[in-house]
C-alpha cells in the first residue's frame, strides 16, 4: 500500500486514507479521480481488510465501470473484487433476486428507448390520443422525466388537464410493462427503491451488507439515485461520493446539481477534500476554462492548477458562415496531421447534432477519415433487434412487444389484421403469446392463418425446449436459420442483405465471447439492454472524432475544436435564459477536454432550416481573459478546393458498411482510403434505411420542405415509392 500511495499527490492520499464516515471528494477536471477512487477501494480491502463483497462502487457508464474493475484487478487480483457497476446494473442485480415482491418474475426483460416508444404508440392508439397531440417520443420523454423525479402515474397528475391526460398514458404504459414482465431504464431504479420502501426487511439486508458505498460522478445523480444511495448508506454512513459540480451538465436527464452542493447539509460531519491538481491540460487552457466557469454563482469553488507548462494560447476563429467554419476546421486539421499529431488525437465538438452536417462534408472533401460518436448503435439495427426479440420471447413469454415484432418477421403470412384480431384477446389471456394460443384453441382464425400461427408458436416452443441443453450462441444460429431469417437474407442477395447477414455474424461472435465467460442468455440480453450512447467512444480507432459536447464528458484529446460558439447556439437559445449556468458548465467541460491545443470557432451567419441567422459570438468567448487568447491564423486554402454550397459534393458515392452504417467513398483519394460516416440515430438522410409500421423497410430517396410540412419519399421493398408527411410517418432507423 505504501507503493500505491507514492503514486498519489497529497490530497489524493488524504482521500484514500480517510477512515470511516461520509466523505465528499470534489475532483476537478483531469485531477485523477478514477485513480483516487480505485486506490481508496484497494486500501479498504488490502489494508483495512474490508471484505470485497461488503463494498459497493457505482458509476454512470459501462465503460467507466469496466475501467474501474480493470484497475482494481491489477491492484488486488481477480478474486478480491467488490461490486463495481453502473447504477442500473446494480439495480438489475438486486431486482433479479427481489423483484417477485413486486409481482414480477426474475426473468423480466429490459426495454430500451425504441421498445418504450413502440409500446407507447400502442398505448396512445388504445387511448385514442392522436400523434399530432402527443407523439410516442414526447410521451417517453415526459415519463422518463417523471421517473427520474420518482413520480408515479398518480403523483404525476397534478390537477391540470394536461398532466391528468398524460398520467393516463403513463398508467397504461406501466400496466403494459407489468403485463409483459418488463422494465424500462427508469423502472430499474424506481422498482429497486420501491422494493426497499415496501419491504423494509429487504432494505435491511442490503444496507447491513454494504459497509462502504462509493459513488462516482455524484453531480450527475437524479432524485431516485440520490435516494437509493442514501438508503443503502444509512446504516453504516460510510458514503464516499466523488464529483465536480462544475461538470454537472445533465439536468435535462434529471440530474440534480443540489445533490453534490448540499452533501454537507445532508452529512454535517462529512470530510471534504478538493482535488485541484490537473494532470491533463496546459496552464493556459485551465486558466481560460476556469475564468468561464467562475462566472457561475452556484458552485463550491475550486482553482485548478497544473505542473504542465502554459502551452499555446486558446485560438479564436471568426468565419463568414458555417460552411467556411467547417472548411477552416478541416484545413486546420490537415495542417495538424502534417505535423506530429494523429487523427485520433483530434476531436471536434458541437452543441447540437444538426451542426455536424457541414463538418462532415468538409472532412470528406479534404479526405479526412472520421467517426461520429452517437451514431446508430449496433444493437439498435433492425436485424439485430429482430433476433434479440425472438430470444426475449423465448426467455420471457410474457414479452408481448417482442412477440408482435417478430410474429411476421420474416414474412410468414400473418398480417396486421390477424395480429389485431389476436390482440383483442390480450386482456383476457394475459399477454400476446397467450392470446395466440387462445385464438387457436377457440378456432377464431382461418385455417391457413391458424396453421401459420401454430408454426410460429412451435418455433418458439422448440427453441425454449433446447435452451437448457444447447449453448445459446449455437441455439441463436439455429434460430436464425429455422425462423427463415437467414434464408430470407441470402435469397435477397443484395448488398444490403449481405451487410445484415454480417451484422448477425457479429452478434453471434459477441454471444460466443459472452458465453465463454460462463454467462447465461438472460445475462447477455441484460448486458445488451444496458448499453447506452455514453459507451460508444472507441479511442483505439485512428479517426478524427466528431461528437456533441454532452457526449465528450469523461474523455480527453490532445487537440479539441469547439464550433458554433454563438449566442443562440452556444449558449443555446432554449436554455440561455432558464439555466445559463448549466450552459457555462457545458462550455467548461468542452474546454477541459483539450490537453495541448484548444480552438474556439464561430460563424457570422449560419444556415438554419434554409434561412440565415446572424448571431453575435458567444459570451463565453468574451469571458476568457484576452491575455489567454489569440486570433487563429487561417490555413491556406487549397487552389483546387472550389466553393461548394450543395449539401452533397459531386465526388461522393455511397455504399453500405458491413456493420450497417453508411460509408462515403472518396473516388479520387490518393491512398484509396474510405471515409466512414456514421449518422446520428435520429438523422434522416437520403440513402438512410428506415422502417415503417405498415410498409416495412425502405430507403429514403427524397426530402422536401422543412419543419411541420417536411415530406419524405421512401422506396419500400413491399409497395414501391411512397411520399409521406414526416411528422405522421412514424419512421424508425432500420
Residues involved in catalysis: 33-34, 216-217, 247, 593
Per-residue buried b or exposed e for 128-151, using 16+ beta carbons within 10 Å of the residue's own CB: ebebeebbbeebbebbbbbbbebb
Element containing residue 228 per DSSP (H, E): helix 223-233
DSSP-assigned states of every residue in 580-596: HHHHHHHHHHHHTTEEE
For every residue of 489-533, DSSP letters joined together read HHHH-SHHHHHHHHHHHHHHHHHHHHHHTT--HHHHHHHHHT--G
DSSP 157-208: --SSHHHHHHHHHHHHHHHHHHHTTEEEHHHHHHHHHHHHHH-HHHHHHHHH
Long-range interactions of 165-168: CB distance < 8 A, separation 24+: 165/129, 166/134, 166/139, 166/142, 168/127
Would you say 76 and 46 are in contact if contact means Cβ atoms under 8 Å apart? yes
Instruction: Return the sign of the alpha-carbon dihedral for residues 363, 365, 366, 368.
Output: positive
Q: How many residues does the chain have?
A: 734
Nearest in space to 56 (alpha carbons), one of 214, 221, 237: 214
**Using an 8 Å Cβ cutoff, are 488 and 410 in contact?**
yes
- Tell the residue number behind the cell numbers 464529483, with chain if given: 243
The residues, ordered by sequence, that sit 6+ positions from 345 with a Cβ below 8 Å of its Cβ are 336, 557, 558, 559
3-class DSSP assignment, residue 437:
helix
Residue 104 pairs with which residues in a beta bridge? none
Instruction: Indicate left, alpha or beta for 224 from its phi (over 0: left) and psi (-120 to 50: alpha).
Output: alpha
| CB contact at 8 A, 341 and 625 | no
Q: Which long-range contacts (CB under 8 A, 24 or more apart) does 129-133 make?
A: 129/165, 129/169, 131/727, 131/728, 131/730, 132/727, 132/728
State the first-to-last Cα distance of the chain, in angstroms, to the nearest integer. Answer: 52
Looking up cell 460508444 gives 536
In whole angstroms, what is the distance from residue 183 CA to residue 142 CA? 16
DSSP string, 655-670: EE-TTS-EEEEETT-T
Q: Measuring CA to CA, which residue among 460, 54, 404 is closest to residue 232?
A: 54
Expressed in percent and rounded to 5, the helix, strand and coil fractions of the chain are 50, 20, 35
* 33-46 helix and 62-76 helix, angle to the nearest 10 degrees: 40
**489-to-60, 531, 680 alpha-carbon distances in Å:** 38, 27, 26
What's the CA gap between 111 and 187, in Å, rounded?
10
d(CA 181, CA 111) in angstroms, rounded, equals 10
d(CA 445, CA 443): 6
Residue in 394, 391, 402, 345 with CA at minimum distance from that of residue 368: 345
Amino acid at each position: 500500500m505504501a507503493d500505491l500511495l507514492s503514486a498519489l499527490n497529497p490530497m489524493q492520499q488524504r482521500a484514500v486514507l480517510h477512515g470511516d464516515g461520509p466523505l465528499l471528494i470534489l475532483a476537478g477536471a483531469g485531477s485523477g479521480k478514477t485513480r483516487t477512487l480505485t486506490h481508496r477501494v484497494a486500501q479498504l480491502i488490502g489494508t483495512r481488510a474490508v471484505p470485497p463483497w461488503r463494498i459497493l462502487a457505482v458509476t454512470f457508464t459501462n465503460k467507466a465501470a469496466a475501467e474501474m474493475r480493470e484497475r482494481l484487478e491489477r491492484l488486488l487480483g481477480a478474486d478480491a473484487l467488490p461490486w463495481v457497476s453502473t447504477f442500473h446494473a446494480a439495480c438489475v442485480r438486486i431486482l433479479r433476486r427481489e423483484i417477485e415482491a413486486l409481482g414480477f418474475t426474475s426473468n423480466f426483460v429490459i426495454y430500451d428507448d425504441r421498445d418504450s416508444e413502440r409500446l407507447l404508440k400502442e398505448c396512445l392508439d388504445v387511448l385514442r390520443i392522436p400523434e399530432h397531440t402527443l407523439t410516442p417520443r414526447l410521451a417517453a420523454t415526459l415519463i422518463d422525466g417523471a421517473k427520474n423525479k420518482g413520480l408515479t402515474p398518480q403523483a404525476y397528475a397534478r390537477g391540470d388537464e394536461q398532466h391528468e391526460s398524460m398520467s393516463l398514458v403513463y398508467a397504461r404504459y406501466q400496466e403494459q410493462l407489468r403485463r409483459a414482465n418488463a422494465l424500462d431504464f427508469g423502472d430499474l431504479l424506481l422498482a429497486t427503491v420501491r422494493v426497499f420502501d415496501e419491504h423494509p426487511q429487504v432494505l435491511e439486508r442490503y444496507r447491513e451488507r454494504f459497509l462502504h458505498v462509493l459513488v462516482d460522478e455524484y453531480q450527475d445523480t437524479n432524485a431516485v439515485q440520490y435516494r437509493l444511495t442514501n438508503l443503502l448508506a444509512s446504516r453504516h454512513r460510510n458514503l464516499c461520493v466523488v464529483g465536480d459540480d462544475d461538470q454537472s451538465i445533465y439536468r435535462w436527464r434529471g440530474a440534480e446539481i443540489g445533490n453534490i452542493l448540499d452533501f454537507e447539509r445532508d452529512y454535517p460531519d462529512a470530510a471534504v477534500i478538493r482535488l485541484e491538481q490537473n494532470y491533463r491540460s496546459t496552464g493556459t487552457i485551465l486558466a481560460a476554462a476556469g475564468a468561464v466557469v467562475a462566472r457561475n454563482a452556484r458552485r463550491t469553488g475550486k482553482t485548478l492548477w497544473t505542473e504542465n507548462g502554459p502551452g499555446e494560447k486558446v485560438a479564436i476563429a471568426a468565419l463568414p458562415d458555417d460552411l467556411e467554419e467547417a472548411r477552416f476546421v478541416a484545413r486546420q486539421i490537415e495542417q495538424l496531421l502534417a505535423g506530429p499529431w494523429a487523427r485520433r488525437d483530434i476531436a471536434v465538438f458541437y452543441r447540437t447534432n444538426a451542426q455536424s452536417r457541414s463538418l462532415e462534408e468538409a472532412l470528406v472533401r479534404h479526405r479526412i477519415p472520421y467517426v461520429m460518436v452517437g451514431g446508430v448503435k449496433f444493437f439498435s439495427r433492425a436485424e439485430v433487434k429482430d433476433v434479440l426479440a425472438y430470444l426475449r420471447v423465448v426467455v420471457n413469454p410474457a414479452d408481448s412487444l417482442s412477440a408482435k415484432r417478430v410474429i411476421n418477421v420474416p414474412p410468414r403470412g400473418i398480417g396486421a389484421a390477424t395480429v389485431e384480431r389476436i390482440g383483442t384477446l390480450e386482456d383476457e389471456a394475459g399477454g400476446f403469446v397467450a392470446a395466440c394460443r387462445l385464438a387457436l384453441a377457440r378456432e377464431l382464425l382461418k385455417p391457413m392463418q391458424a396453421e401459420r400461427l401454430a408454426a410460429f408458436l412451435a418455433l418458439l416452443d422448440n427453441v425454449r425446449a433446447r435452451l437448457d441443453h444447447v449453448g445459446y450462441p449455437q441455439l441463436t444460429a439455429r434460430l436464425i436459420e429455422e425462423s427463415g431469417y437467414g434464408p430470407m437474407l441470402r435469397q435477397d442477395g443484395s448488398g444490403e442483405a449481405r451487410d445484415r447477414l454480417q451484422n448477425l455474424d457479429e452478434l453471434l461472435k459477441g454471444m460466443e465471447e459472452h458465453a465463454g465467460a460462463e454467462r447465461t442468455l438472460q445475462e447477455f440480453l441484460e448486458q445488451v439492454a444496458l448499453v447506452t450512447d455514453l459507451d460508444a467512444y472507441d479511442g483505439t480507432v485512428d479517426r478524427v472524432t466528431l461528437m456533441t459536447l454532452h457526449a465528450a464528458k469523461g474523455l480527453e484529446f490532445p487537440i479539441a475544436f469547439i464550433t458554433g460558439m454563438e449566442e443562440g447556439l452556444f449558449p443555446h437559445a432554449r436554455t440561455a435564459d432558464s439555466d445559463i449556468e448549466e450552459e457555462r458548465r457545458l462550455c467548461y467541460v468542452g474546454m477541459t477536454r483539450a490537453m495541448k491545443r484548444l480552438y474556439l470557432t464561430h460563424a457570422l451567419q449560419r444556415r438554419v432550416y434554409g434561412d440565415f441567422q446572424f448571431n453575435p459570438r458567444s459570451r463565453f468567448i468574451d469571458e476568457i481573459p484576452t491575455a489567454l487568447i489569440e486570433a487563429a491564423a487561417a490555413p491556406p486554402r487549397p487552389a483546387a478546393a472550389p466553393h461548394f454550397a450543395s449539401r452533397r459534393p459531386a465526388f461522393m458515392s455511397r455504399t453500405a458498411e458491413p456493420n450497417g452504417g453508411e460509408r462515403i467513398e472518396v473516388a479520387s483519394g490518393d491512398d484509396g482510403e474510405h471515409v466512414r460516416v456514421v449518422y446520428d440515430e435520429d438523422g434522416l438522410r437520403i440513402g438512410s434505411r428506415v422502417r415503417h409500421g405498415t410498409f416495412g423497410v425502405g430507403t429514403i430517396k427524397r426530402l422536401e420542405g422543412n419543419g411541420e410540412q417536411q415530406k419524405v419519399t421512401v422506396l419500400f421493398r413491399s409497395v414501391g415509392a411512397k411520399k409521406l408527411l414526416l411528422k405522421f410517418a412514424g419512421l424508425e432507423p432500420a
